[in-house]
Chain A
Amino acid sequence: MENILVANNLIKTFERHEKKQKKISFNAVDDISLNVGAGEIVGVLGPNGAGKTTLLRMLGMLMKPTSGEIHMSIDGQIQSDVTKIKANIGYLSGNTKLYGRLSTRELLDILGNIYGLTKEEIDFRIEKISRILNLGEFIDNRIEKLSTGQTQRASISRCLIHNPKLYIFDEPTLGLDIISSNSIIEFMKSEREQGKTVLYSTHYMEEAEYLCDRIILLDKGKIIAQGTLAELKAMTGEDKLRDIFNSLIKEVE
C-alpha cells in the first residue's frame, strides 16, 4: 500500500509562563513518526492532553512543528509545500466553525475559488455535494439559522468542495447526538469506499473499533502502540480496545 502521508520525528514544544520569569516548556507532541496509507481509515486515540489535537493540527498544516518533517504524496509526487498539502486535505474539528452570516452556497463558492477551482467545477461540486449531504433545503439560508445537524452537514460540505485526497478529522463526533455522529461515521466509511483516506482522532473506543483499519494509541505526546486491532489484541492479549489501552498505559508507567 502506498503511503499518502508520512511524518518523521515530529516534536511540538509549547512554552508557558508561570509566575516570576519562569518559562515552562513541554512537548505536547514528543518525537512522533507515523505514516498513513492511501485508502485506509487511521484512528488516533488517547486521553485528553495526549497531544491528539496538536498532532492533527501539525499534519493538517495549521501549526508548524518545532522539529520534524511532513510529506504528502500527491499524484505520485512527494510534496512538502504547505499550501499544496493544504489544498489536498479536508480538515474538520470542533474548532472549525463556519461563517454564520454567510449561506452554505456562498461559503462553498468562496472556498471553491480559494482552492482554485473554475466556475463550472464549483457549480458541479456544489450540485454533487448538495445531493450527497442533502443540503438542498437550507443551502441558501444563513448558516447561523441552521440546526445543529444541518450545521454539521454544512461543515462536512466545506471539507468536500475541493475533493481532497485525505481527510483529517479531529474528534468529529464529540458532543454530537447519536444521529449526527452516525452520519459522520457513515460518511467516513463511504469515502473510504471511494478510495479516500481518513485520519481521525477520537476518544470513543467503540467507535474506533468499529471504523478503523489501523489504530495509533497516544499518551503524553508519544505513540505507545500502533497497528490493526488484531495486532493490538495479539500484543496485549486483551480483547476490548478499552482494556488494550489500559494495559498499554500501565506498561508505560
Chain B
Amino acid sequence: MNGKIIKQLFKKEMLDVLRDKKTVLMMVVVPLVIYPLIMLLSMQVMTTVSQDMAKSTYNICVQGDKLEEYSQLIKDVDEESYSVNLVSSSDIEGDLLNGSIDAYLVVEEKDGSDLINIHYLSASTRSNYAVDVVLEVIDEYAKGETEAALVEAGLDPDKVLNPVKVRYVDKSTAEESTGSLMGSILPFMLVVSILMGTMYPAIDTTSGEKERGTLETVLTLPVTSQELIFSKFLAVGLFGIASALLNLISMCGVMAYMFNMMSSLGAEVFGSFDVSKFIPPMIIGVLCVFAFAIFVSALSMCVCAFAKSYKEANNYITPVTLVVMLASFISFIPNIELTRNMSLVPVANLCLLLRDLLVFKFNYINIMLVLISNIIYGVVAVLILGKIYNSESIMFGDGQAGIQLFEKRSNMKKGGVPTLGDCGFVVILMALIYLYVGSSLQLKYGSAGLVASQLLFVAFPLLVALYSKKSIKDTFKLRLCKPRKLFGGVILGVGTIAWSLVISGISASIFKESAKASQEGLEGYFPEEFVLGLLVMAVTPAICEELFFRGYVFSALENRLKLITAILLNAALFGIFHMSLVKFFTTAFLGGVIAYIGHKSRSIIPGMLVHFMNNTLACVAMYYPLGLVKAFSFLEMTSATDRMLTGLFAVLVAIVCPVLGYKLLDDKKEKISI
C-alpha cells in the first residue's frame, strides 16, 4: 500500500463527505442538540407528571356497614400531595365507569371484622392512585385497631407485630447510584448515535459512490483495491470516532447538568457528585467505544457496499440498526452481567462494559476481551469489505442478494422463498426475540411459557413471510411427500438419533460443566404429567422449530447456496440456538441430517417426525429413567444369544437404518423436477 495514494484518496473522501450537509448535520447536530433535548424533555415531562399527581384530589364514595366511621376516615385524608373528596352517588357503577368517582368502597361487617371491597378501574391511572390512597388509610386504621386490641390484652404491640426487624443500609456511594442510572441509558444512546453518525458517511462512500457513478472513475486510477478500501474505511472510521466523541461529550454534559440540578433539589440518592471519580473508568471506556466505532464503521460499510443506491443502502442498513438497537437494549436488563462469554458478543459487550464502568466495577480481563473482540470484529469486517470491493459482480452487478424486507411492499415479488439477506435478518432478530421475550416467558410461566416461546419460532417467520409475499407452501415446505420418502426419512432419522446418542455421550464427558448446567436448567420447567411433558418437550418443538429452521431458514439457504454449505450452516444455527455447549454437537448433527431429509423429500413432515421421535426419547428418559432399560430389556447381556442379538440390533440401527434411509431418499430417477 502506498501512503501517498491513501492520503490523497482519504483527502478526497473527507472533502466529499464533509461537503454533504446531511452527513454533517447527522453527525454533529444530532448528538449535540437532539439527545440533550430528548433527555431534558423527558425530565420535564416526568416532573410535570409528578406535579400533576401531587395536586390530585380523588373522589371516593363509601357504602355499606359502619358508614359513618369509614366516611370520616376517608374524609380526613388531606396530605401534602393529595386529598380525598367524599362524594355520594346514585349510580355508583356508572359514575366509576365515566370517571366522576375514582373508586368506591363497600364495607361488610362480619364476625367482628370488616371486609372492605374496593371497586376501581385497573385500566385508569387515577383510579389506581386512589386505591393506593385508600389502602394507606385503611392500613393505618387497621394498625391502630390491632395495637389497641393488643394493649387491651396487656401485650407490647411492637414486640408482637414486629418480632423480626429488617433495616437496609445502602453502602453504594452517590457516584455509584448515579452511575447505575447512567449505565442503563448511556450505553444504549451512545451505541445508537454512533451508528447514526457513521451510517451516512458509510452510505456516502460506498453506495453513494456507486449511485453517483464515481466508482468506475476511481477504478480507472492506478490504485489497488486495498488502498481504496483502506482510505474509505479511514474516513468513515474517523467519522465514527468523531461522532462517538461528540456523543460522549454531549451525554456527559447533559448528565452532569441533570444530576447537579437534582442534587440541588435535594434528591438524596445523588448526594454529593464528584465528577473527577468518573475519569479513570471513562478513559478505558472511551478506548472501547473507539474500537466499537471502528467496528460499526466497517460493518455499515460492508452492508452498504452491496447496495447500488442511497435508497437501497437505507433498506439494508435499517435491519442492522434494528438489530444493533435491540442488542444494546441489554444494558437495561439488570440480571445480565458482563461475563467472559458476554465480553465476546458484539454490541452487547460494549453496553455491559460501559454499565459496569459507570459503577466502578471493572475486571481488566473482561475489558481487554471487549477491546480485543471489537478490534477483531472490526478487522474481520474490513477484510470482508476488501472481498466485496474485489468482487466484480457486486461492484458492477445489480445487487440482488440483499434484504428485500425493507423495500416498498408493492415492489416485492410474489411467491418464491426468502432471500439470504431476509433470512439472515430474521435469524438474528429471532435470536434476540428468543433471548429477550422467550426467556422471560419461560421464567414467568414455566412450561406454558416454554410452549409460548416455541410458538414465537412460527409466528415471527410466518409474519415476515406473509409480509414479504413469499410462498408459504415453498418457504415452510408444507407439502405431503411420497410414503417411500417419508419412510426413508424416518429410517435415516432413527439411525441419526442412535448416532446422536453416541455424540451426546461423548460431548457430555468432554464438557462436564456445561452438561451439569444444562441438566439443572431443565428442572422446574416441565409439568409433572408425562403426557403434558411430551406435549411441551416433543410435540411443540417438533412442529415449531422445524417450521423455523428447516422451513424458513433452510429454504432460503438451499435456494442460494451449495447443498453442503446450506446444511452445515443450518446445522450450526440449530446448534447455536440451543445455547448450550454440550448440546451443540448433538443438535447440530441432528439438525443437519433433518435438513438433508427435508431437502430430499421436499417436505417438512419427515423432519418433524424425526425431531418428535428424538425428543420423545429424551422425554421418556427423563420421566421414566428406568423405563428405557425395561423396554429394551433384551439389551441386558446375559447370554451369548443375547449378546448376538444386541450386536445385531446395534448394527441394524446404526448402519442399516441410515444406509437404507439414504437409499430410499436418494432417488436418481426423480432428480430435479422443479
Contacts and interface: CB of A to CB of B under 8 A. Distances in A.
A89 B220 contact: yes
B214 A98 contact: yes
A64 B12 contact: no
A102 interface: yes
Most buried by B among A84, A110, A142: A110
Interface in B1-48: 4-5, 8-9, 11-12, 15-16, 19-20
A86 B220 contact: yes
A194 interface: no
Contacts of B8: 110, 113-114
B217 A158 contact: yes
A33 B196 CA distance: 50
A4 B53 CA distance: 87
Interface string B181-214: 0000000000000000000000000000000111
A95 interface: yes
Contact of B222 (A64, A100, A114): A114
B629 to A, nearest CB: 47
Contacts of A147: none
Nearest to A86: B222
Interface stretch (B303-311, B392-400, B648-656): B392-400
Given A64-B392, A87-B222, A20 B559 contact: yes
A77 interface: no
Nearest to A12: B392
Contact of A17 (B9, B222, B400): B400
Nearest to B210: A95
A100 B213 CA distance: 10
Interface in B381-396: 392-393, 396
A236 B217 CA distance: 39
B559 A21 contact: yes
A142 B216 CA distance: 20
Contact of A111 (B4, B16, B20, B221): B221
Contacts of A64: 392
B16 A101 contact: yes
A106 to B, nearest CB: 7
A110 B11 contact: yes
Contacts of A114: 5, 8-9, 221-223
B67 interface: no
Interface in B527-584: 558-560
Contacts of B223: 83, 86, 114
B602 to A, nearest CB: 11
Interface residues of B, number: 29
B219 A62 contact: yes
A113 B9 CA distance: 10
B237 to A, nearest CB: 20
B632 to A, nearest CB: 43
A189 B275 CA distance: 73
Nearest to B17: A101
B15 A102 contact: yes
Nearest to A90: B220
B309 to A, nearest CB: 14
A98 B217 contact: yes
Contact of B12 (A20, A99, A142, A158): A99
Contacts of A99: 12, 15-16, 212, 214, 217
A62 B221 contact: no
B318 interface: no
Most buried by B among A57, A60, A99, A115: A99
Nearest to B11: A110
Interface string A47-85: 000000000010010111000000000000000001110
A15 B391 CA distance: 12
B16 A102 contact: yes
B16 A15 contact: no
Nearest to B390: A64
B640 interface: no
Contacts of A116: 4
Contact of A91 (B11, B20, B220, B559): B220
A203 B191 CA distance: 53
Nearest to A94: B213
A93 interface: yes
B212 A102 contact: no
Contact of B216 (A62, A86, A113): A62
Nearest to A159: B220
Interface string A12-35: 001101001100000000000000
A114 B2 CA distance: 10
B246 to A, nearest CB: 22
Nearest to A103: B15
B88 interface: no
B4 A113 contact: yes
Contacts of A62: 216, 219-220
B19 to A, nearest CB: 4
B400 A96 contact: no
A158 B15 CA distance: 18
A100 B212 CA distance: 8
Given A96-B216, A106-B15, A114-B8, A83 B560 contact: no
Contacts of B4: 113, 116
A83 B12 contact: no
A95 B393 CA distance: 16
A83 B224 contact: yes
B333 interface: no
A76 B216 CA distance: 29
Contact of A101 (B15, B217, B222): B15
B393 to A, nearest CB: 7
A234 B221 CA distance: 41
B674 interface: yes
Given A84-B222, A87-B222, A113-B4, A102 B216 contact: no
Contacts of B216: 62, 93, 95-97
B514 to A, nearest CB: 38
A64 B225 CA distance: 13
Interface in A209-229: none
A84 B432 CA distance: 50
Interface in A140-175: 142, 158
Most buried by B among A15, A17, A101, A115: A101
A17 to B, nearest CB: 7
A219 B560 CA distance: 32
Most buried by B among A20, A82, A91, A142: A20
A95 to B, nearest CB: 4
B570 to A, nearest CB: 16
Given A97-B213, A113-B8, A63 B396 contact: yes
Interface string A101-128: 1100010001101111000000000000
Given A113-B4, A114-B9, A96 B213 contact: yes
A117 to B, nearest CB: 11
Nearest to A60: B220
Contacts of B224: 83
Interface in B504-522: none
Most buried by A among B15, B16, B559: B15
B396 A110 contact: no
Contacts of A82: 222
A67 B214 CA distance: 27
A97 B212 contact: yes
- Going nearest first, the 5 A-B pairs with the smallest beta carbon separation are A97-B213, A91-B220, A101-B19, A86-B222, A87-B222
Given A97-B212, A99-B217, 18 more contacts: A17-B400, A20-B559, A21-B558, A21-B560, A57-B396, A60-B220, A62-B216, A63-B392, A63-B396, A93-B216, A98-B214, A99-B15, A99-B212, A113-B4, A114-B222, A114-B223, A115-B221, A142-B19
14 contacts: A63-B396, A86-B221, A86-B223, A97-B213, A97-B217, A98-B217, A99-B214, A99-B217, A101-B15, A101-B16, A110-B12, A114-B9, A114-B221, A115-B221
Interface of B: 4-5, 8-9, 11-12, 15-16, 19-20, 212-214, 216-217, 219-224, 392-393, 396, 400, 558-560, 674
